[in-house]
Amino acid sequence: MAHAHAADVSVAGVPIETDCVIIGAGPVGLFAVFQLGLLDIKAHLIDILDKPGGQCAELYPEKPIYDIPALPIVTGQGLTEALMAQIKPFAPTFHLGERIDELARQPDGRFRLATDDGKVFLTKVVVIAAGGGSFTPKRPPMEGIEAYEGKSVYYAVRRMEDFRGRDVLIVGGGDSALDWTLNLAPIAKSLALMHRRDEFRGAPHSVEQMRGLVRDGKVQLLIGQLGKVHGSNGQLEGVTVKLKDGEKQLPVNRLLPFFGLTMKLGPVANWGLNLHENLITVDTEKFETSEKRIFAVGDINTYPGKLKLILSGFHEVALMAQAAHRIVHPDKKLTFQYTTSSSSLQKKLGVK
């Protein structure tokens, strides 16, 4: 995977200048790199997730997909790996775990984009391939929990040190809950794992390891649900939990609820694009939005006859790339070519 090169790094507000910024690194965003690359358009990809592949890699890496042309069966992870191999000749730069918070048109027609991490881009073309929007963690239905978020309630572990020597409660029954139980147990002062039933969806090996820690008295396993949070100034002091034999208050100063992800349009909603039921309206010739030079492809867009299929997204990026070429290389005539017969395309792909 290509990471930022020296010239591509936004230093102290100096923008990264590029032809195209693709927002979303799911299958459609990845294939956009290929179609743009064939037309000599360089791309940077930005995704809120910490790895490429979008929903495929995040929500169903092991789940088979049956309707990708020529692949009778492929997993979400397998499809992602194949696309990553296919776009390797174009060396795209990935900016993962980041979200585009600002988008503004500049006097010269380009766009200035800024991420929540402080990176700034100047680009001629923006391609929104954000699936159903950005993923946000599902918040537990607990009154007043917002006040603790980012201070003592976390939906992801960014720094393990935040949990060292703390009384930690992890809630959930999937891989995230199990993985962090195993990883944080050695450094936490105390660690409890709670799930609403005594069955876990995570990897069997992780479940086994967790049960071993419970037997050794290193982890407390609770079957129940969250009740109330107690504390002040964003710092947890305890959590009331509802167990089979009644309510109990646990001394907790770090809470990690893993209730899955929900899809939200996020900042995209404020970019002045025409929206229809939280989807971005596009034309079917170029897949351009109501804002010139901003395109939307894949599940995030809508048009008459739209089908939410990865296959449709692949078709959309091929047409989008043709339109992007006219913007990025206005002085170059575009001759339509096939990869099977064009030696110049084969050279770009490193196969000649």
Q: One digit per residue, pLDDT tens: the chain, 352 residues?
A: 444 433 444 455 689 999 999 999 999 999 999 999 999 999 999 998 888 998 777 766 677 889 999 999 998 889 999 999 999 999 999 999 888 989 999 999 999 999 988 899 999 999 999 987 776 778 898 999 999 998 999 988 878 899 999 999 999 998 889 999 999 999 999 999 999 999 998 889 999 999 999 999 999 999 999 999 999 999 999 999 999 999 999 999 999 999 887 767 777 878 888 888 889 999 999 999 999 999 999 999 999 999 999 999 999 999 999 999 999 999 999 888 888 899 999 998 988 6
Q: Is residue 294 classed as helix, strand or coil in its secondary structure?
A: strand
Which domains are present in the chain? 6-135+262-348 (3.50.50.60), 139-259 (3.50.50.60)
pTM (global) more than 0.85: no
Other beta carbons within 10 Å of 160: 13
DSSP states of 147-195: GGBTTTB-SS-S-GGGGTT-EEEEE-SSHHHHHHHHHHTTTSSEEEEEE
Question: Which residue type occupies 220?
Answer: Q
Query: What pLDDT, on the 0 to 100 scale, is given for residue 97?
Result: 85
What crossing angle do the helices spanning 27-38 and 310-328 adopt, rounded to 10°? Answer: 40
CA torsion, ordered 314, 61, 278, 311, to nearest 10 deg: 20
**In whole angstroms, how large is the CA radius of gyration of the chain?**
23
- The span from the CA of 4 to the CA of 290, in Å, is 31
Assess contact for 174 and 261: CB atoms under 8 A.
Answer: no
Burial class from Cβ neighbours inside 10 Å (0-12, 13-18, 19+) for residue 216 reads exposed
Query: What pLDDT, on the 0 to 100 scale, is given for residue 224?
Result: 96
Query: What pLDDT, on the 0 to 100 scale, is given for residue 176?
Result: 86
